[in-house]
Amino acid sequence: MAERVCARFSENARYVLEKRYLRKDDAGEIIESPEDMLWRVASAVARAEEAYGGDSGEWSVKFYNLMAELEFLPNSPTLMNAGTPRGQLSACFVLPIGDSMEEIFGSLCATALVHKSGGGTGFNFSNVRPAGDRVRSTSGVASGPISFMELFDHTTEVVKQGGTRRGANMGILDVSHPDIKTFINIKRETKKLTNFNISVGLPDAFMKAVEEDADWDLINPRTKEKVGVVSASELWEMLIEGAWKSGDPGVVFIDRLEAGNMVPSCGRLDSTNPCGEQPLFPYESCNLGSISLMAMADEYGEIDWNRLERVTRMAVRFLDNVIDCNTYPLEDIDKMTRGNRKIGLGIMGWAELLFARGIRYGSRESISLAEEVMGFIQRIGHDESEMLAGTRGSFPNWKGSLWDRRGRPMRNATVTTIAPTGTISLIAECSSGIEPVFALAFRRKAFDNDTLVYVNGFLERALAKMGDSSSGMLDLVLASGTLAGVDAPHKIKEVFVTAHDIPYREHVEMQAAFQKYTDNAVSKTINLPNSATLDDVRDSYLTAYSLGCKGITIYRDRCKETQVLYHGAESHDESRKQPRTDSSGRLKPRKRPGNLLGSTVKIQTSFGNLYLTLNMFEGEPFELFATLGKSGKDTQAHTEALGRLISLSLRSGVPVQAIIAQLKGIGGSQYIYEDDGDGIILSLPDAIAQGLERAMGEKIEVSAGDMCPSCGAPLVHAEGCMRCVSCDYSKCY
């Protein structure tokens, strides 16, 4: 029997493992090492071999080495839960949404159980009757699908995955639903459906109607009758504008999902998991895993195809075993998942492979390589699934499947998926999925309050070869994270591009190249610069459709900049809104009266309790006193200084809402969750902003500039999800 190798985890990877994956006792103390975790997972998954006459001990070592060499890693629930009492190992779930209260609330309960177990959920709400429709049993009117989506969103908010974080959802509505306009616009309100990605289901017929500028029928799902007619082009433009403004909604080309349905006898595919890469039937789940391409190649990016074949075959076997040793949250999920035995094998580290080979992301050469690599993995993966079917049997629903028609017995209805790999790619120290890098250099929060400077290793080596001529370049890259604007050789600038250096068409073409050889779908975000136009978004969607993508998500940089709702501002005296000035036009703060009335609030911070006293004058906020208990002199001085500057601003006519907008969401190195459960305090400025809100008795809606709630670093939109560029935070996985 082979021996176990030493795990190749870096110090940063071990930190991520300790924070999120390693088992802890009731006191929160870590009770296993990273190597123990790998052995726990490997031995649990290998136990499935015994049902087929295999040697679980031998396969335990093989699976352990597969992960310890960082050749392959399964999705997070498998790493977290394999070999534990929880035992739920899948990341992706789809649940049905019917039109009755019993069906809807049954799925709501199922959602809570799935999220509790660590999974994400997808839904298609198109069967729910529209708002205002008749409810025969009560003689009332229906509230519509969006009201129920808000119910699911709230449930997600209060149920944490595995007791650590909240889950994520995908909500799809067909473009023929009468409530489609409301659905398209719902995410423009920044606090609506915050735990949902949303997509509009577009059939081929709709795309044809857009092309011909034809009318489009709206159909009541309860009666199946036409209840309205709209311009297809009008809906299309609403979609484009919504995505341009907020990144939502995305689109799912619904007929493309169905075209990839290998088991049509089980129904129609019209839903996906939260990041869109896994189309599933109601009550179906799928477990995912990814191969690190950097482990398959040498320092020059030359792929060892024999090694890639070996790892692909072992990964398919590993994921098939997961289906057998999984503990499913519902019996219906158990039955449907085992019936089709879908798995999703993908890749990570694509950006580094291109760096190593000196190939620009999005170039013709990179597109060809993408097709070659994914075509190879799909071919070998299918071959291994066919071999497993020969020894273990085909998936139970094989009869009547497309595989049946092709005369090729398969163990798994689907084999390949390009999934998000946010946290597992941190463990493997490579880029996420098939995304380009988002920065060539950045600062990453590490242990406690330490901050590490990370510079892309391939760029460092390229600059080192330049010798003294590269002097100062790294400092410039660290300042901006990109080579754009840096006086560097053309070849280096050509290869070392970041997400926002790449034209959107090349993003789409890369997604399409991988989709060509992916059974399920591809999770990728099409990143656009802030200057992108509506035409750019429109062309992205049309290009994705023409190239065979199953869906598309775009995100325009900084499209969710801070927005403030000035509650009640219309009723304020205009003269009070305007800053006071002297004869020279300079600001002239109002004088302080002898007596003022106000209120005091207490906010917890990591430096002690913060006491804020907001005094009012003529119904307007006039001054703020800020005191920090049990803090050092410097921190108290900073607190007092902020209070004085805020007071000066208020007395000069600056609206309190604008001050809150500037301070709210600023991250620091020491965040804290309040004891009363009101929320997270990211920093001292954030505490002052939240205290001002409470003193005013109103909530100011601020998007916080897409900032990580864990460490305060910027969040990027990648693979249909929000990820931190600094720590291990991920919105979805």
Give the DSSP letter string of 384-448: HHHHHHHHH---TT-TTSHHHHHT---S-S--B-B---HHHHHHHTS--TTPPPS-SEEEEE-ST
Domain assignment of residue 30, yes or no: no
By CB atoms closer than 10 A (0-12, 13-18, 19+), residue 203 is: middle
**Predicted confidence (pLDDT) at residue 587 exceeds the cutoff of 80:** no
pLDDT (0 to 100) of residue 460: 87
**Cβ distance 453 to 443 under 8 Å?**
yes
Domain assignment of residue 75, yes or no: no
Name residue, tokens 């699934």. 385
Q: Give me the helices (H) in 656-709, please.
A: 656-663, 684-696
Domain assignment of residue 653, yes or no: yes
N residues, the chain: 733
pLDDT (0 to 100) of residue 727: 61
pLDDT (0 to 100) of residue 222: 95
What whole-number distance in Å separates Cα of residue 662 and Cα of residue 677?
A: 24
Q: What is the mean pLDDT of residues 704-723?
A: 63
Total tally of structural domains belonging to the chain: 2
What whole-number distance in Å separates Cα of residue 82 and Cα of residue 41?
A: 5
In this structure, what are the phi and psi dihedrals at residue 141, rounded to the nearest 5 degrees? -120, 150
Q: Over the chain, what is the mean pLDDT?
A: 87
pLDDT (0 to 100) of residue 570: 32
31-41 pLDDT per residue, tens: 999 999 999 99
Helical (H) or strand (E) element with 602: strand 597-605
Last residue of a domain, one of 266, 288, 303: 266
By CB atoms closer than 10 A (0-12, 13-18, 19+), residue 241 is: middle
Q: What is the mean pLDDT of residues 141-150?
A: 92
| Residue of 482, 492, 567, 496 whose CA lies nearest to 529 | 482
Q: What is the mean pLDDT of residues 98-118?
A: 94
List beta partners, residue 346.
Answer: 290
Separation of CA 12 from chain center: 21
For residue 693, indicate whether it is catalytic.
no
Q: What is the mean pLDDT of residues 56-63?
A: 97
pLDDT (0 to 100) of residue 365: 98
459-506 pLDDT per residue, tens: 988 888 888 667 778 777 877 788 887 888 889 999 999 998 999 999
Range of 580's domain?
A: 569-696
Least confident of 1-5, 279-283, 374-378: 1-5
Domain assignment of residue 243, yes or no: yes
Q: What is the mean pLDDT of residues 106-117?
A: 94
pLDDT (0 to 100) of residue 36: 97
Domain assignment of residue 176, yes or no: yes
**Predicted confidence (pLDDT) at residue 381 exceeds the cutoff of 90:** yes
pLDDT tier, 563 (very low <50, low <70, confident <90, very high otherwise): very low
pLDDT (0 to 100) of residue 194: 86
**Cβ distance 66 to 103 under 8 Å?**
no
pLDDT (0 to 100) of residue 287: 94
What whole-number distance in Å separates Cα of residue 538 and Cα of residue 253?
A: 15
Give the CA dihedral 587, 591, 592, 598, nearest 10 degrees.
-50
**Predicted confidence (pLDDT) at residue 307 exceeds the cutoff of 60:** yes
Structure tokens at 72: 């392959």
**Predicted confidence (pLDDT) at residue 573 exceeds the cutoff of 50:** no
Domain assignment of residue 100, yes or no: yes
Least confident of 177-181, 378-382, 414-418, 446-450: 446-450
pLDDT (0 to 100) of residue 700: 59
**Predicted confidence (pLDDT) at residue 156 exceeds the cutoff of 60:** yes
Please tell me which residue, 304 or 193, carries the higher pLDDT value: 304
Least confident of 241-245, 477-481, 524-528, 544-548: 477-481
What whole-number distance in Å separates Cα of residue 166 and Cα of residue 283?
A: 20
pLDDT tier, 720 (very low <50, low <70, confident <90, very high otherwise): low
Name residue, tokens 């921190």. 635
The catalytically annotated residue of 75, 273, 397, 615 is 273
pLDDT (0 to 100) of residue 706: 58
Domain assignment of residue 527, yes or no: no
| Residue of 432, 433, 511 whose CA lies nearest to 256 | 511
pLDDT (0 to 100) of residue 606: 72
List beta partners, residue 452.
Answer: 444
Structure tokens at 42: 């490997």
Last residue of a domain, one of 266, 286, 307: 266
pLDDT tier, 572 (very low <50, low <70, confident <90, very high otherwise): very low
pLDDT (0 to 100) of residue 447: 45
pLDDT (0 to 100) of residue 219: 98
For residue 273, indicate whether it is catalytic.
yes
For residue 220, indicate whether it is catalytic.
no
Mapped onto helix, strand or coil, the DSSP state of residue 88 is coil
Q: What is the mean pLDDT of residues 180-204?
A: 90
Q: Give me the helices (H) in 566-616, please.
A: 574-577
| Residue of 531, 523, 527 whose CA lies nearest to 505 | 527
pLDDT tier, 189 (very low <50, low <70, confident <90, very high otherwise): low
By CB atoms closer than 10 A (0-12, 13-18, 19+), residue 103 is: middle
Name residue, tokens 């926002």. 500
The catalytically annotated residue of 266, 275, 559, 724 is 275
List beta partners, residue 673.
Answer: 680
Q: Return all residues near 590 (Cβ < 8 A) that are at least 6 apart.
A: 580, 617, 622, 651, 652
pLDDT (0 to 100) of residue 520: 97
70-85 pLDDT per residue, tens: 999 999 999 999 999 9
Domain assignment of residue 167, yes or no: yes
Strands (E), 186-277: 196-202, 215-219, 226-231, 250-253
What whole-number distance in Å separates Cα of residue 462 and Cα of residue 454?
A: 16
pLDDT (0 to 100) of residue 582: 57
pLDDT (0 to 100) of residue 160: 65
pLDDT (0 to 100) of residue 413: 98
The catalytically annotated residue of 277, 352, 506, 719 is 277
